[in-house]
Chain A
């Protein structure tokens, strides 16, 4: 049915659960997976939502972002390798993860996006917006939400 499943990750525990389930689905369907991580731009400021919470040497911060991206994507590579599923990973710099996920799905010719939902509610959700909801709204290919 599906041949190329996009597995976006933000490095959270919920993402890891979705990765495991997504790889399992890929194996069952004989599909391959494309791991994806949208890293924030390497500004000297570190943010939590819209609030700056720290400063780091910019070059050091760029290296830290690169390291985090590789670590998060390694989780997908490892899970795929263990399941014997073909895997490709990609990371981009983008402060709008939902846009980046939809664009990555198109770029990599994925036929489904398999994504975790944090299920945020209230003030935090209204401030940050749910990336999963945005992906659901913007995507032109099927989206499977894992909870």
Chain B
């Protein structure tokens, strides 16, 4: 390796280690890493800017703005109360339905936002049904984190796949004549939920008279809720039609967001429950947005220095000699790694590495899918892997007024992650990897 490549690798490694260990704020660490790469001449500031996928950033900001309004519309609370009715007063069944609901919402909404919008109802429900709040909110966190990758909109890894590999909305449902992310993850999710019910949520006493719980569903302003839901669905449909519309996804997401803001502003006092634009912009997770910007630039530095080419060349023989073994190793090495390190950086690095291997004749799509799935499922292992779980854990601790030990957390996360990872691995191998083995 050239001295400049060593230098790039050292800066990247230091930045990632600081991000993982949280010695200083992780976003600051990533931004400092990018600045260091620019000052050291690894790349110019213009190149760093150009390595950022601003289309992905626009998707994030646009969808987060709409999701912010959705969270305040009262619809998530209403859905949670419907979940209680559907459960028939069975506490264990309610947890499973709430987790499923979190999974569905997180396919369109950021994981952290999903948890924040469900917690205000899920926690009182848990209390009313005499369930321990911590496992309930953790399950919601697992569900939200899990299903973000099922479709293009809900999380950064699928958007990175769109950025690096060009995966479109419907590719997440059906691609190359076979089911892809959405069907595979839904089946995996349902099996995992069944397993978790058996593992930790059966045997609770049923509440037959639910009126004693004193919980009711009420949407304060149906006009506001209807507009937000219609706009959300409309934006998602427009994003799914991107290839026909012929513009970037980020532009569609931002158009949906600003037109929603305009409509709500025009309705004025009739939708007084709606936060004003300034508040909704302030509520965006700007720290996360800057982290993702820095991440793209950091990995761009690796690309510029051809380190990803070297990595691709080093691991290519494994995939060339035995494709199934290579995919298996990629999957099962990724699961524990993303459980303890920030998974977005890892996924982005290997998405690019697989792209480089594709230029040497290695079929990339099965590997891209296996990487994205294992990278998402494995991140449920600890709070270090996924910010959404940190939020869920904090809410649970606050609700119970106590700290949650690592062993208590692992008692829920390990079984969930193992079942998900195993089921998804089997489906991924059968549907995606083995058909491509020569």
Q: What residues of chain A have their CB less than 8 Å away from a CB belonging to chain B?
A: 40-45, 47, 50, 52, 57-60, 62, 92-96, 99-100
Contacts and interface: CB of A to CB of B under 8 A. Distances in A.
B269 to A, nearest CB: 47
B407 A47 contact: yes
B408 interface: yes
Given A58-B202, A59-B202, A43 B411 contact: yes
Most B C-beta atoms less than 10 A away, residue of A42, A43, A59: A43
A95 B408 CA distance: 8
A94 B411 contact: no
A50 B407 contact: yes
Contacts of B408: 40-41, 43, 95
Contacts of B203: 57-60
Contact of A41 (B134, B202, B205): B134
Contacts, number: 53
B100 interface: no
Contacts of B201: 58
A61 B72 CA distance: 38
A58 B408 CA distance: 13
A44 B403 CA distance: 18
B200 interface: yes
Given A43-B411, A43-B412, A96 B200 contact: no
11 contacts: A40-B408, A43-B135, A43-B412, A44-B199, A47-B411, A58-B201, A59-B202, A59-B204, A59-B205, A94-B402, A96-B405
Given A58-B202, A60-B203, A44 B400 contact: no
Contacts of B407: 43, 45, 47, 50, 52, 95
B199 A95 contact: no
A85 B203 CA distance: 40
A119 B132 CA distance: 34
Contacts of A44: 199-200, 411
Contacts of B200: 43-44, 58
B195 to A, nearest CB: 12
Contact of A42 (B132, B403, B405): B132
Given A41-B405, A95-B405, A96-B402, 8 more contacts: A40-B408, A41-B132, A43-B412, A52-B407, A59-B204, A60-B203, A93-B132, A95-B403
Nearest to A59: B203
Instruction: Determine the interface band of chain B, counting residues with CB < 8 A from chain A.
Output: 10 to 19
B402 A52 contact: no
Contacts of A41: 132, 134, 404-405, 408
A93 B411 contact: no
Contact of B402 (A42, A50, A59, A93): A93
Contacts of B202: 57-59
A52 B199 CA distance: 14
Contacts of A92: 402
Nearest to A41: B408
A94 B204 CA distance: 21
A33 B370 CA distance: 60
A40 B405 CA distance: 10
Nearest to B135: A43
Interface string B112-155: 00000000000000000000101100000000000000000000
A59 B198 CA distance: 11
A139 B205 CA distance: 39
Nearest to A62: B132
A98 to B, nearest CB: 11
Interface in B98-114: none
A87 B253 CA distance: 64
A18 B72 CA distance: 54
Interface in B383-417: 400, 402-405, 407-408, 411-412
A61 to B, nearest CB: 9
Contacts of A50: 407
A100 B411 contact: no
A42 B189 CA distance: 24
Contact of A93 (B199, B204, B400): B400
Nearest to B196: A44
Nearest to A44: B200
B404 A95 contact: yes
A40 B403 CA distance: 12
Contacts of B405: 41, 95-96
Contacts of B402: 92-94, 96, 100
Nearest to A38: B402
A41 to B, nearest CB: 5
B316 to A, nearest CB: 39
B274 to A, nearest CB: 40
Contacts of B412: 43
